[in-house]
Amino acid sequence: MILILGVTASGKGRLAFDLAESTGADIISIDSMKVYRRMDIGTAKPSEEARKRVKYHLMDVVEPSDSFSVGAFLDTALDVIEQIKDREGKIIAVGGTALYIKALLYGLFEGAGTDQQIRSELRARAQTEGVAELYRELMKIDPVAAERINPNDSRRIVRALEVYQLTGKPISSLQKQWDARQTKHDWTIIGLRRERADASSRINKRVKKMILAGLVDEVKSLLAEEEPLSKQARCAIGYAEIIEYLNGQMDLKDATELIKKNTRRLAKGQRTWFKTFQNVHWLDIDPDEPAEKIFVRADSLLKKIAAR
């Protein structure tokens, strides 16, 4: 079982396709937006030709008017994995949605439940004593969590204190238990890594191609459907900006530049997430390196790992 990760536009989709075609594997998409039907151009789904040659899963599974959660993804993905394993098939998972990847590798942190009375009392204290006082309390009982939380973020401060009162344990310790869980399946993880300037250049070129391929018409078509787009779908990078353009809030040139900017910001966040993942076999990709060479390098790496 192979999992390929990388920031957006890193070339991971092409590598997954090449490996799947060479081995007869199925591909499981780990992407929070490719799950939506008819959202094709802006999510960079593989071509119809590619999907005829390789079996893809977790694409086009819900309507754009529906919401879709990491829990729904995990349930569906695990079902697909078991179905493929039952017929002794091979699996290649690929994606850049870090939270979905983490859920697939380690499961979900279920939290510590809730207690409305405790939460109400803490909120009342925040009003009367001030959020700063609650934050000082959190610093004493859970400095690790406090370091991660903005001192003005009353919602997260209240939640951390609520968990401590409910369980007697810092919320940070519970989250570490989630992070340390063993993977349910034996994944070999390959990461594609590019220099930031190269990654940004590829993002800019991809956005330009999306516009030329008809992203504006795709968004117009989605907005014309009887059921309105879900909040999740409307917020997708590429769609949110074009909706602003269609609403007269900016011109197309500015919307295109904003898509590039927001996609580069997404890539930055993905890099931060991926640094926390363990046991990733990273391939550093040169700017002009052809997909065929990347495939050969990845294939060679997988054979070395299998021979150990």
* Structural domains of the chain, ranges and CATH numbers in brackets: 2-107+181-307 (3.40.50.300), 116-179 (1.10.20.140)
Average pLDDT over residues 70-93: 93
What pLDDT digit, counting tens, does each position of 189-231 carry? 999 999 999 999 999 999 999 999 999 999 999 999 999 999 8
Work out the average pLDDT over 249-278. 94
β-strand pairing of 56-57 with 26-30: parallel
- What residues does 56 pair with on adjacent strands? 27
**Count of other CB atoms within 10 angstroms of residue 94:** 25
- In one-letter notation, the amino acid at residue 234 is R
182 pLDDT exceeds 60? no
Q: What is the pLDDT of residues 237-259, one digit of tens each?
A: 999 999 999 999 999 999 999 99
For the chain, give the mean pLDDT: 92
Rounded Cα gap, residues 281 and 196, in angstroms: 19
pTM for this model (two decimals)? 0.78
The per-residue pLDDT for 109 is 59
Give 30's contacts (C-beta < 8 A, 6+ positions apart).
3, 5, 58, 73, 77, 93, 94, 95, 96, 97, 100, 101, 104
Asked if residue 240 lies in contact with residue 234, where contact means CB atoms within 8 angstroms, the answer is: yes
- Residue 279 CA to residue 37 CA, distance in Å, equals 33
For residue 180, the model assigns a pLDDT of 45
CB 140: neighbour CB atoms within 10 A?
Answer: 8
